[in-house]
Structure 1
Amino acid sequence: MANFSSLAARARYAVPQGLPLKLGVLLVIGVLIAGPLLRVLFETLPPQTIAAWSDVVISPLSRNLLWVPLTNTLILGVGVACGCVLIGGFLAWLVVMTDVPFRRTIGLLATLPFMIPSFATALAWGSLFRNSRVGGQTGFLEGLGLPVPDWLSWGMVPTLIVLTAHYYSLAFTVIAAALATVNSDLVEAAQMTGAKRGRIFAGIILPVALPAIVSGASLTFAGAVSNFAAPALLGLPVRMQTMATRLFGMIEIGQTARGYVIAILLIVVSAVFLWFGNKIISGRRSYATITGKGGRAKRFELGAARLPLLAIAVVICVLTTIVPVIVLIASSLAPSSSALFSDWTLHYWLGASNPAIAQGQAGVFHNPFIVSATSTTVSLGLVVAVTGSVLGLMVAFTLARYRAGFLSGVINQLAFLPLLVPGIAFGAAYIALFGAPIGPFPALYGTFTLLVIAGTAYLVPFSVQTGRAVIQQVSGDLDESARLTGAGFFRRLSAITIPLASRGLAAGAIIIFVKIMRDLSLVVLLFTPTTPVLSVLAYRYASEGFTQFANAITVVILIISIAATLLANRLQTKSQPWLKN
């Protein structure tokens, strides 16, 4: 009886399984994610800064500080979301549900634009369509003698086009996955009853794809409203401000309190739209289309429309993938954007300093600042890939193995919170938290460490999602058996989970590497001359009129990113054999 009482008392005071790990993970992501965002809010509440709210929202300055940028931001967000759903949905329908030729090639090309940084597409647009309104070099079309109107060179229209070309891949991927679940039996049954194609589309296909359409619209809206590169390159020269560019301007000139208010409002705009999209999806009726029966894809015969629709798809894919890359390469070799394909020179790549060319700027491989930026950027990508993967693995392991309980829910919400926060607002949050000393810790602004911490925190959702996917492939029984033999947590992780999921984890690390390599919105506020990164350097060169250097640097980023992406895809295919089919 005494032994039984002893065991009962021990069980009463035993630490719940996984609690130390949950608390440790919660502490880390709380400091990295919740801490900076709360600090931004608190920075705007003291008496000396509370006036920033009225300045931004209701003062005579508010029109230029908030309402005009907000209007432009919403126009961009809604316009890009609609354009991406239309283009991505069209290509998804063509690839998944029709007998169009070269479906796989179209599908591959439709996923590539998102690999190309948005500032690369914006630079390519400028090289083609820039006119003489703001001075400097003119674009290729004007060099041919073709008049290019201002509305096509600068402002809202080119920004809308560039962002739509960049983000439609997201909508394509999401909608294509949904259309692949449409059961052919439903379509055939409708055809047998005499239903026309329009009726089948509206009654069967559209309801099944509606959640994906809303998700695609939400993702592309959030991406467009938070994008800094395209509005900055194509809008700022003609004073078109969005909330992202206005936030950047406020921080740049030292009006940090107003900048933090704009950051908070930008987060609210993005979060509200994403919440609204989720609300639509959660409130709809359920349409079950996957059953226990075997299914096959139902492809509509296009007949005489096959070749015209193929031509439209090819034109879209080529204009958004191949053309920008060709223009960037040509511009990095041409003496001016107005003569892209003549008098090529390697000076902007290999040339030494020449006072007669580009104000004495040496070529990319001879420019110590660009070489240093390349080294810093690659180092940043590698370090963030490692730290992000480790943190993502810890969070994913916690959520996969100890999913029950309140703490797990909090960890899950915090881990995916950065998806709601625009990159430039997240960068502002890190300036607010780490821009000044904290107790015995020095200020981190302008250090490589701050770039690593911010990049790791911002990419936590991607690393968690990748980590969770690979950990769920490893049976929990293996971990439990090792635990019963006395193996500690880190021993189990290093001996079982990591070796069995190594390929998937490596692919996830490479994806993180690519994202931080080509990200501009996050790092543009954290950039200093002591921590140069290639994306911000390309933006700076473009802003100062050194188009060839900006495009050459962007080509370097593209080469590294595409090579890493192809490697990641190869690793994912090997770790997930079903992707081969």
Structure 2
Amino acid sequence: MTMTLRRHYQNLSRHGLTIAMALLLVVLVVAPLFTIFVETLSPRSGSGANAWVDVLASRLSQNLFWRPTINTMIIGLSVGIGCVLLGGLLAWLVVMTDIPGRPAIAFLATLPFMIPSFATALAWGSVFRNGRVGGGGGLLEGFGLSVPDWLSWGMTPTIIVLIAHYYALAFTVIAAALSTVNGDLVEAAQMTGASRKRILFGIVLPIVTPAIIAGGSLAFAGAVSNFAAPALLGLPVRMQTLSTRLFGMIEIGQTERGYVLAILLIGISAIFLGIGNRLLSGRRSFATISGKGARPRRFALGRSRLPLAVIAWTVCIMTTVLPILLLAAASLAPSSLSLFSDWTLHYWTGESSPAFARGQPGIFHNPQLISALTTTLMLGASVALAANIIGILIAVALTRQSTPVLSSLVSQLSFLPMLLPGIAFAAAYIALYGAPIGPLPALYGTKLLLGLALTAAMLPFAVQTGRATVTQISGDIDEAARMTGAGFFRRLGAITIPLAARGLAAGLLISFVNVIGDLAITILLYTPTSPLLAVLSYSYASDGFHQFANAVTLVILIISMLATGAATLLRGRRRQDFA
């Protein structure tokens, strides 16, 4: 009996961290999702049990679910296909051709994902907005051109903006796959007289099909859950998606219906990601990495070299540099009809004047901005720190206390927030922590609730960064310290964290950038006592104050670019240290 208890104690102490992390993930990820499902079946409120019928099979269901779902699917599929075509083309040009400026194109093609989608949406409005819907017109109307509604608002601009935002995902995944294509295969095909077209569609395309599916699936999942672009470009013409309809339901107090929409949105994302994974699992025969060194083989573009270079550079500039320039000009111009004349700093530093901008002071004279800036920076730093502390603990548990079943569970739960639409995730947190739980008070309307939701959402980034760093530290060092009597936290603070400091700093900055630009989660959980920069920008845009919205968005972009540059610099130094 004593031996059995001792063995159980040893197993518990050996796997205690993994068990603790599993329980923490249940609290942060599983419990909120389970709660929204329970709430939609609960008869307590009188409407919970009927919410499914209201959404799916009632007089309201056409506007509540079916029409927003059709819009969501059209947007998701169009964005997925568009991102694969655009990202795949750029990946092929960068990895497998002799196009000039490959490193610069590769760098620029990864940046759009770091620019918040609402920034690109605002930039689109500065050019294509017309005066018939949603206020004053944009630059094209200033040139005397008549911009049709379908180009200013609704489905088309939403799809274009989201492709410009998410194609970086497809580019990254497809480029990584193309870099593994053995040049010997291409050279052998050329020696047999195969044409470029035959090589591309007969060899290269089948090999990278899994990456194409993965990139398209990620772009689809991001598009169907995106809130900012359809809200800014679709709501003015009453185009609803599941994410905007979910927000509207919770905003007006129809929480049970909102929870049903959240579950359905999660289900749609999960189904398509599952289809993508199923297709990937059936194509494992396309192995391209062997024990032999692969020699890269680039296609000579010949006469097409210059035109394709122009196309690639145009895409990169229009999705990275141009939106930032347009936002800067639109934050200075009194009218979007003439973006590059009569510039004024009023929208930045001007004091309140009844004769200008309906009495709105410049953003740096608005007490809300200072409060939002302080709150955003503090929240971003706190969430990044908390998420990366949990991430390093999970990474240590998975690498130092590995057990097949438990480790697999912890790994999958830590990645789950990546697959969940942000606005649905926020709804789940309202359902669980918005009301009192036993002696614990309700957290709705507090910064703590917002911080918890964002921390859980950042865990996939933190865990992946932590695992990549911790696995490079030899377990012999930790074992030697343990044998000298050093406890777990002593080893963690004296060995693991110092050795992983540079990689963890990069993880902190990546999480920070994602937090300050997040709108999907914060739009549901913020309160007037906890304003945030992203929400302030959205509020300005919704009220028609586009110059102020552009100025606030530029503040977010400047902070994001500084943090991204610091993270890139740290990763570069880290690679040099291990070279």
- Shorter-chain TM-score range: over 0.9
Partner residue of 1:35? 31
8 A Cα contact 1:18 1:398, kept in partner: no
8 A Cα contact 1:114 1:167, kept in partner: yes
Partner residue of 2:545? 546
Partner residue of 1:444? 443
More off after superposition, 285-294 vs 442-451: 285-294
Partner residue of 1:263? 262
Residue identity matched to 1:292: G
The answer to whether structure 1 residue 286 and structure 2 residue 285 are counterparts is yes
Residue identity matched to 2:195: K
Residue identity matched to 1:90: L
The answer to whether structure 1 residue 386 and structure 2 residue 385 are counterparts is yes
Partner residue of 1:61? 60
Partner residue of 1:111? 110
State how far apart, in whole Å, the 1-side matches of 2:283 and 2:61 are. 39
More off after superposition, 442-451 vs 59-68: 442-451
More off after superposition, 151-160 vs 191-200: 191-200
State how far apart, in whole Å, the 2-side matches of 1:407 and 1:328 are. 48
Q: What is the percentage of aligned positions where both structures have the same residue?
A: 62
Deviations 1:332-387 (A, max 9, x none): 00011111111000001111111111221111111111111011001111001100
State how far apart, in whole Å, the 1-side matches of 2:329 and 2:493 are. 48
Partner residue of 1:517? 516
Relative to 1, partners in 2 of residues 1:195 and 1:430: Cα closer, same or farther, differing over 3 Å? same
Deviations 1:390-416 (A, max 9, x none): 011111111122222322222112111
State how far apart, in whole Å, the 2-side matches of 1:486 and 1:92 are. 51
SS in 2 for 1:431: helix
Relative to 1, partners in 2 of residues 1:174 and 1:249: Cα closer, same or farther, differing over 3 Å? same
SS in 1 for 2:524: coil
Partner residue of 2:342? 343
State how far apart, in whole Å, the 2-side matches of 1:523 and 1:41 are. 21
State how far apart, in whole Å, the 2-side matches of 1:501 and 1:306 are. 43
8 A Cα contact 2:181 2:294, kept in partner: no
More off after superposition, 549-558 vs 388-397: 388-397
Partner residue of 1:485? 484
Residue identity matched to 1:30: V
Partner residue of 2:201? 202
8 A Cα contact 1:84 1:167, kept in partner: yes
Partner residue of 1:402? 401
SS in 1 for 2:205: helix
Partner residue of 1:371? 370
Residue identity matched to 1:178: A
The answer to whether structure 1 residue 21 and structure 2 residue 20 are counterparts is no
Relative to 1, partners in 2 of residues 1:427 and 1:6: Cα closer, same or farther, differing over 3 Å? closer
Residue identity matched to 1:20: G
The aligned runs of 1:348-367 (5 Å cut-off) are 348-367=347-366
State how far apart, in whole Å, the 1-side matches of 2:459 and 2:73 are. 27
8 A Cα contact 1:99 1:301, kept in partner: yes
Partner residue of 2:303? 304
- Deviation of 1:311 after TM superposition, in Å, equals 0.5
SS in 1 for 2:523: coil
State how far apart, in whole Å, the 1-side matches of 2:139 and 2:3 are. 82
Residue identity matched to 2:302: G
State how far apart, in whole Å, the 1-side matches of 2:550 and 2:371 are. 17
The answer to whether structure 1 residue 462 and structure 2 residue 458 are counterparts is no
State how far apart, in whole Å, the 2-side matches of 1:548 and 1:239 are. 23
- Deviation of 1:514 after TM superposition, in Å, equals 0.1
- Deviation of 1:508 after TM superposition, in Å, equals 0.3
- Deviation of 1:8 after TM superposition, in Å, equals 8.2
Q: Which runs of 5+ in 1 are unaligned?
A: none
- Deviation of 1:458 after TM superposition, in Å, equals 0.8
Partner residue of 1:184? 183
- Deviation of 1:15 after TM superposition, in Å, equals 2.8
SS in 1 for 2:11: coil
The answer to whether structure 1 residue 46 and structure 2 residue 42 are counterparts is yes
Partner residue of 1:325? 324
- Deviation of 1:294 after TM superposition, in Å, equals 2.4
8 A Cα contact 1:573 1:579, kept in partner: no
SS in 2 for 1:528: coil
Q: Which runs of 5+ in 2 are unaligned?
A: none
State how far apart, in whole Å, the 2-side matches of 1:472 and 1:357 are. 58
SS in 2 for 1:333: coil
Deviations 1:428-487 (A, max 9, x none): 111111111112221111111111111101111110001000001101111122122221
- Deviation of 1:578 after TM superposition, in Å, equals 8.9
SS in 2 for 1:416: helix
SS in 1 for 2:516: helix
State how far apart, in whole Å, the 2-side matches of 1:399 and 1:11 are. 21
- Deviation of 1:10 after TM superposition, in Å, equals 4.2
SS in 1 for 2:334: coil
SS in 1 for 2:519: coil
The answer to whether structure 1 residue 503 and structure 2 residue 499 are counterparts is no
More off after superposition, 351-360 vs 453-462: 351-360
Partner residue of 1:174? 173
For the aligned residues, what is the CA RMSD?
A: 1.5
Relative to 1, partners in 2 of residues 1:418 and 1:13: Cα closer, same or farther, differing over 3 Å? closer
SS in 2 for 1:18: helix
8 A Cα contact 2:18 2:406, kept in partner: yes
State how far apart, in whole Å, the 2-side matches of 1:285 and 1:394 are. 32
Partner residue of 2:559? 560
Relative to 1, partners in 2 of residues 1:564 and 1:107: Cα closer, same or farther, differing over 3 Å? same
Partner residue of 1:82? 81
The aligned runs of 1:528-547 (5 Å cut-off) are 528-547=527-546
More off after superposition, 347-356 vs 160-169: 347-356
State how far apart, in whole Å, the 1-side matches of 2:338 and 2:245 are. 34
State how far apart, in whole Å, the 2-side matches of 1:489 and 1:203 are. 54
State how far apart, in whole Å, the 2-side matches of 1:369 and 1:172 are. 38
The aligned runs of 1:124-135 (5 Å cut-off) are 124-135=123-134
Deviations 1:176-229 (A, max 9, x none): 000000011111011111111122112221122111101100100000000000
- Deviation of 1:14 after TM superposition, in Å, equals 3.2
State how far apart, in whole Å, the 2-side matches of 1:152 and 1:99 are. 36
Relative to 1, partners in 2 of residues 1:238 and 1:8: Cα closer, same or farther, differing over 3 Å? closer
Residue identity matched to 1:37: L
8 A Cα contact 2:228 2:520, kept in partner: yes
State how far apart, in whole Å, the 2-side matches of 1:113 and 1:10 are. 55
Partner residue of 1:121? 120
Deviations 1:8-65 (A, max 9, x none): 8844763355321122111211111111111111111112211000000011111100
- Deviation of 1:6 after TM superposition, in Å, equals 8.0
Partner residue of 1:91? 90
- Deviation of 1:577 after TM superposition, in Å, equals 3.0
Relative to 1, partners in 2 of residues 1:221 and 1:12: Cα closer, same or farther, differing over 3 Å? closer
More off after superposition, 291-300 vs 40-49: 291-300
The aligned runs of 1:223-234 (5 Å cut-off) are 223-234=222-233
State how far apart, in whole Å, the 1-side matches of 2:75 and 2:13 are. 48
- Deviation of 1:579 after TM superposition, in Å, equals 9.9
- Deviation of 1:571 after TM superposition, in Å, equals 0.6
Residue identity matched to 2:32: P
- Deviation of 1:559 after TM superposition, in Å, equals 0.2
State how far apart, in whole Å, the 2-side matches of 1:54 and 1:392 are. 40
State how far apart, in whole Å, the 1-side matches of 2:278 and 2:483 are. 43
Partner residue of 1:418? 417
- Deviation of 1:295 after TM superposition, in Å, equals 2.5
- Deviation of 1:287 after TM superposition, in Å, equals 2.0
8 A Cα contact 1:435 1:443, kept in partner: yes
The aligned runs of 1:211-230 (5 Å cut-off) are 211-230=210-229
SS in 1 for 2:289: coil
8 A Cα contact 2:134 2:544, kept in partner: no
State how far apart, in whole Å, the 2-side matches of 1:35 and 1:27 are. 10
State how far apart, in whole Å, the 2-side matches of 1:22 and 1:149 are. 57
